[in-house]
Amino acid sequence: MDNYTALAIDLGIVLILFAGIWLFRSPRSARAGNLSAALAILCALTAVFYRHEILEPRIVLITLAAGSLIGSIVAMRVTMLQIPSMVAFQHGAGGVAAFLISTVELTRGAELAAVAHASGLLGLVIGAATFSGSMIAGGKLSNRIKQTPVFLPFHNGVLVLLATAIILLCALSWNAPEYGATYVAGVVILSIVLGVVFSIRIGGADMPVLISFLNATAGLAAAFCGIIIQNRLLIVCGATVAASGSILTHVMCKAMNRNLANIFTGIKQPQNRGAAAVSEAIAEPAPLDDAPPQDPWNTAIEALRSARFVIFVPGYGMALAQAQFKVVELSRMLESGGAEVKFAIHPIAGRMPGHMNVLLAEADLPYDRLVEMDAINPEFARADSVVVVGACDVVNPAANTAEGTPIYGMPILEAHKARRVMVCNMDTRPGYSGVNNTLYANPNTLLLLGNAAETIERLIEGLKK
C-alpha cells in the first residue's frame, strides 16, 4: 500500500470519527454518533492490523476477546447512577494504555528521535497521572472515597516538589540511557503520586470540571503516544479528545463562574465582613409573615392539578434516589391533563456533564423536553409550578447575593421566579457549596422533604385521587 492510499484511508476514518462527534450535538442523534465513532475506531484497528506484521496473533486475539467481554459485562451491569464513576474509570484506562505504550517504547533500546523521546516522556507522565487521578475521581463519585476535598500540609508545595522531581528524572533518563528503565519507573511512580495528590483536593461540587479535565489529559497522552509510535490516527484521535475535553472544561468553569486555577490550586476567594453577614442571614432565615400552609402536600397537588405550565429541575438527588422514572411518569400525567412541561438542565447538575440528560433519557423522556439554562431561564417567570427534584446549589438565589461564598456569581436556574416552587429534596441542608439555600425560605416555596422517589410517588397518587 503506497503512502497516498494509506493517507486517504486515514483521512476517511478521521472524517467518520468527526461525523460521529458532530452527531453528539443533539440527544436525538447521539446514538448514531456513538455508532459512527465506534465504526471509526474499528476501521482504525483494522488498518493497524493490516499495515503491521503481528508477531503473536493469538495473544492479540485473546486480549481483544477478553477486553470486549469484560467491557460488555460492565456496560450491561452498570446503572445510570454509576455512569460518572465508570466514565472516570474509562479515562483512567486510557491513561494506563498511554503510559504502558510510552514505557515500552522508551525502554526497548531503540534509537529515538528527540521529538519522539520527548513525546514518550510526556505521554508517560500525563498518562500515569491521568490514571491515578481518574481512580481518585471514580472513588469519590462512587462514594468509596469521601467526596469532600482532602488537603495535605503544604499541598501546593507537595505538587511543585513532585513536578520538579519528575522533570529531573525525565532529564536524567534522556542523558543516561543505560539507566533508562530505572528512571522511567521512577517517573511512573512519581506521576501516579502526582495524580493522587492533584485529585484528592477536588470536592464533589467540582467533579464535572475534574471529569472534563481528565478527559482532555487522557486524549493528550494518547496523542503523544501516537507521535512516539508514528501513528497518524492515534495522534488525530487523541488530539480531538484533548480539544473536546478542554472545551468542555471551559464550559463547566463558565457554568460555575469558577476559575480553573482556583479549582485546581485550592485557593479560595477571601470573604469580607459583608459576605459573612450575608452568610449568617442565610444560615438562619427570619420567620415569614406569609408562611406556607401546615400541610404543603394538598397545596402542591392542587397547584399541579391546576397548572398550565410546569418546569422540572432535576439534580443529583434525583440520581441518588433513582427517581427519574417517577419524575417522567409525573410529567406525562401532567401533560395528559393539558399542561405544558419542560425540564430545566443546568450544565453542572449531577456529577458529570450531561448527567441529567442521560438519566432522563433512560426513563424515555422525549428529547425536546430538555431545555438548557440560558433558554429556560426567561420562562420561569411565567411558570405556574416548578418541581425541584434533588437540586440545591443550581437553584440557590444566594448565588446572586452571598459575596465571597463559593457559589457567588454562579449562573443559576431562576426557579424562585415561578408562581409556586415545590422542593422535593431529602432535607434543607446546604449543597456542596456549603451555602444555605434561600429558596427554601421563599413564601412561594413548598418543602416536600424526603426520598425523591417516594415524594414524587406521593404527588402522583395525590393527582390520581
Hey, which residues are catalytic here?
393
425 grid coordinates: 429534596
Q: Distance between CA atoms of 294 and 292, rounded to whole angstroms?
A: 7
**Taking a C-beta distance cutoff of 8 angstroms, is the pair 355, 84 a contact?**
yes
Q: Cβ neighbours of residue 43 under 8 Å, at least 6 residues apart?
A: 12, 13, 16
Query: Angle at the Cα of 375 (from 374 to 377), degrees rounded to 5?
Result: 70
- Locus of grid cell 443529583: 316
* DSSP conformation class of 30: H
Compute how many other C-beta atoms are within 10 angstroms of the C-beta atom of residue 9.
18
**Taking a C-beta distance cutoff of 8 angstroms, is the pair 384, 319 a contact?**
no
Query: Which segments of 24-144 does DSSP mark as H helices, in order?
Result: 30-51, 57-77, 83-107, 114-141
Q: Are strands 421-424 and 445-447 parallel, antiparallel or unpaired?
A: parallel
**Taking a C-beta distance cutoff of 8 angstroms, is the pair 235, 209 a contact?**
no
Q: Strand runs (DSSP E) across 315-358, as ranges?
A: 340-345
Q: Distance between CA atoms of 34 and 54, rounded to whole angstroms?
A: 29
**Taking a C-beta distance cutoff of 8 angstroms, is the pair 25, 2 a contact?**
no
